[in-house]
Structure 1
Amino acid sequence: MHIKSERAATACGLAAILLWSTAAGLIRSVSEHFGPLGGAALIYSLGSILLVTLLGRPRLRSTPRLYLVLGNALFVAYEVCLSLSLGFALDSTQAIQLGVVNYMWPCLTVLLAIVMNGQRARWIIVPGTALALAGLVWVVSTNGVSLPGIVANVESNPLSYSLALGCAITFALYCNVTRRYASGKNLVTVFFILTAAVLWLKYGLSTETLPPFRLRSSLELLAAGIAMAGGYALWNIGVLKGNLTLMATASYAGPVLSSAFAAVWLGATLTAQFWQGALLVTTGSLLCWYATRPTANKE
């Protein structure tokens, strides 16, 4: 797929956000059928096949070695953390909470863009970021906002929450490293293949066994593979040629879209406090977008 204009590339990035909004619910659903490791390995194996079919075989000869190493490491780390954090969630409601924790990455992407890539921003990015992070804290809190409540919630499943936080950090780094060092190369197919290999290795070392394939579970697996592979194919186009800051700030709407889809798909009941937190995240995103848009920097 050859995209030349920045506007078209940015549109691809925004379409990726819509696809990703279905991913958390689908990954959790697939993990319930095939297990956390087996389900994730199947998703990325199918995604790899779809990407090779859509984008062709990857070409590595002219790829900068630094990006080949850093990009691979960050992408694989993110995908493994994401799939396992959702797969090891105690229930569907916690899986949705973990999905929102993962959505700290747009905030971190903008902040790292300022440090790593010289992105200009006005002072209003500070309250915008604070508001978005406050929304995430509000989501993780189950009954009001209290430190003991947050600690108790995290301690109920420290592995999944740690993995979700790792997701946010590694993907923010990946976006900025790709922008700075990729030299226009799209290696998402290679990244998917390596992620699948790592997950199959972990599966082989585990005690998990794959159950028989049923029609419903197979269709959910196909949908998850399309959501993940299609999302990344479009996102990398946006990262390489589009408006990264606009895409990252627009991604703040992801928690609302992702949670709404997952709640319906998984049959989970979300509290008013959860949706209030999601609204805070979205409001914070609008402030960040205003702070980083080019016209806002002309004093």
Structure 2
Amino acid sequence: MEFVTKNKYTLFGVAAILLWSCLVALIRDVSELFSPIGGAAMMYSISALFLILVMGLPKLNDFPPRYLIIGAILFVSYEVCLALSLGMANTRHQAMEMAVINYLWPAITILLTVFSGRKKVSLWVYPSVLIAFVGVAWCITGDNDVSVAVLMNNFSDNPITYLMAFSAAFIWAVYCILTQKLSNGKNAITLFFTATAITLWVQYAFSDEPPLTFSMSSTVTLLIAGIVIGSGYALWNKAIIGGNLMLLGTMSYFTPVFSTIISSFYLSITLSKSFWQGVFLVTLGSLICYFVTREKTKKCKEPLLT
């Protein structure tokens, strides 16, 4: 019975990882159907409502105050930066670049832990982090040679989205490090999602985006996107209770690969050989970081989110 239960929770985790792998494609699709800010606001509102229905309405006094305040600020900042970097990218291909940049967060988490002096880790951490960053550069430069000039040229094409994507990776790394200490094992994800939705609606109110218009197909896509994101969080919350965290931790680091495959099909994008090589390098670098530190550094029990 214990074996069956553990397998069930592990399957919940696998399902969560696969659902998160759909996030990039769905956020980009919703932003094109509606608008970057308005579409994200509706999507996160649906996710928040779904989480409340599935996980119940949380009580504020159940959570440590510092966790609520600091965690909410970091979580909301991350989600807004991620969603808008994907939605405001000039093209679908550029949105894929934003997604790969976001997947630097595992390597950055380890790097920040090392710089803070809280952990002594293997020297393999440094080359593995470098591999991950080289992978991002490989994706951004495409078929051109990797150079500072090419990277700066691509960056200047849409600097705001690149800055938001890099900011998202760093913010999520800080979130993982701090919430481990502040949460006391609690998970305020429903409150954080609600705060994200409210923040996006405020941004939308002060933006110059056009009024939201709905069709049957766009509404269905919006509902699917919101439920998929919410389901990923709900399933992961179950998975960490009794699943095989070693297996799930390893599999989660393949999310860039899963996400790229799903997004390329869903968004009908043909990616170059160099882009796939870059995704592989980001995944490889993150995996090495994970394996050389897994006994010393606890894995963040929050989801990856594309």
2:294: which partner in 1?
293
The Cα shift of 1:184 comes to 1.7
The Cα shift of 1:256 comes to 1.6
Q: How does 1:68-87 map to 2 (within 5 A)?
A: 68-87=68-87
The Cα shift of 1:108 comes to 1.6
Q: How does 1:193-272 map to 2 (within 5 A)?
A: 193-235=194-236, 250-272=251-273
Structure 1 runs not aligned, ≥5 long = none
CA contact 1:110–1:248 (8 Å) conserved in 2: no
Number of positions where the alignment pairs a residue of Structure 1 with one of Structure 2: 291
* Distance in 2 separating the partners of 1:34 and 1:134: 34
Superposition RMSD in Å: 2.7
Tell me the amino acid that sits aligned with residue 162 of structure 2: Y
CA contact 2:107–2:285 (8 Å) conserved in 1: no
The Cα shift of 1:231 comes to 2.2
Q: Deviations over 1:238-274 (max 9, x none)?
A: 6798898976664432222111111111111211100
| Gap change, CA 1:51 and 1:203, over 3 Å in 2 | same
Q: Deviations over 1:190-223 (max 9, x none)?
A: 1111111111111111122344322221222122
* Distance in 2 separating the partners of 1:121 and 1:288: 10
Tell me the amino acid that sits aligned with residue 66 of structure 2: L
CA contact 1:74–1:170 (8 Å) conserved in 2: yes
The answer to whether the aligner puts 1:49 opposite 2:54 as a matched pair is no
CA contact 2:37–2:204 (8 Å) conserved in 1: yes
1:153: which partner in 2?
154
2:137: which partner in 1?
137
The Cα shift of 1:185 comes to 1.4
Q: Deviations over 1:70-90 (max 9, x none)?
A: 000000000111111111100
CA contact 1:245–1:289 (8 Å) conserved in 2: no
1:108: which partner in 2?
108
**Secondary structure of 2:62's match?**
coil
Tell me the amino acid that sits aligned with residue 259 of structure 2: S
1:172: which partner in 2?
173
Percent identical among aligned pairs is 42
Structure 2 runs not aligned, ≥5 long = 297-306
Q: Deviations over 1:106-157 (max 9, x none)?
A: 1122334456695563222222222122111111112221111110101100
* Distance in 1 separating the partners of 2:106 and 2:280: 15
* Distance in 2 separating the partners of 1:280 and 1:106: 13
State which drifts further: 262-271 or 285-294. Answer: 285-294
State which drifts further: 283-292 or 156-165. Answer: 283-292
Tell me the amino acid that sits aligned with residue 162 of structure 1: L
